Amino acid sequence: MREGNQRFVADATLHRMGVEGRRRELTDGQEPFAIILGCSDSRVPAEIVFDQGLGDLFVIRVAGNIVQPSQIGSVEFAASKFGTRLVVVLGHSQCGAIQATLEQLQMPSEDRSPNVPSIVEFIRPSVESLLERDLDANTVLDQAVRANVHASAERLRRASSLIEQLERDDGLVIAGAEYSLETGVVDFFDDAS
């Protein structure tokens, strides 16, 4: 994955989407080598950012890369059904869901939708304490993105006995990563624990 991201940053990608032969191969099944739980931000398409082709990644996208039961179930499905042993929780710089959470914590407002605040509530515990520090707004946002990635990885571990067992006994690795909108580089944390 690191090599694929390096190719992407260097504008030297190998994979092109829609390759007919590969598409036909995948009608019989898939064997993705990694599960990506990433943000739904349109600027962070995992297959492109990691220069991967059809069938290589099992991608789950949700605003703020939060972990709710449907995301947990999706990770469980891919890990157990396809034997995928790498889960990357992928956050990114300038995340709108993180920004919205920080804004709501600093200046609460009424939202017309009951659904957007549910995303904020999932992110809130991982970023709340950052506002108590004497940090500038950009530093808070940068640290909040990473704190949220760590929290999402921990939620994956704690909320699923299957994921816990696969990590403990069967080589499943859960890693955190952050994509930089500015540079295109993905910074992998050694692991998200």
Residues 49-103: pLDDT tens digits? 999 988 999 999 999 999 999 999 999 999 999 999 999 999 999 999 999 999 9
Looking at the chain, the number of H-run helices and the number of E-run strands are 8, 5
Residue 28 lies in a domain: yes
* Residue 123 belongs to a domain: yes
61 found inside a domain: yes
The answer to whether residue 7 is domain-embedded is: yes
What band does 193 get if pLDDT is binned at 50, 70 and 90? very low
CATH number of the domain where residue 149 is located: 3.40.1050.10
Residue type at 178 in one-letter notation: E
Residue 193 lies inside a defined structural domain of this protein: no
Q: Where are the beta strands (DSSP E) in 62-140?
A: 86-92
Predicted structure pTM score = 0.91
Asked if residue 75 is part of any domain, the answer here is yes
> The domain containing residue 126 runs over which residues?
2-188
Please count the structural domains in the chain.
1
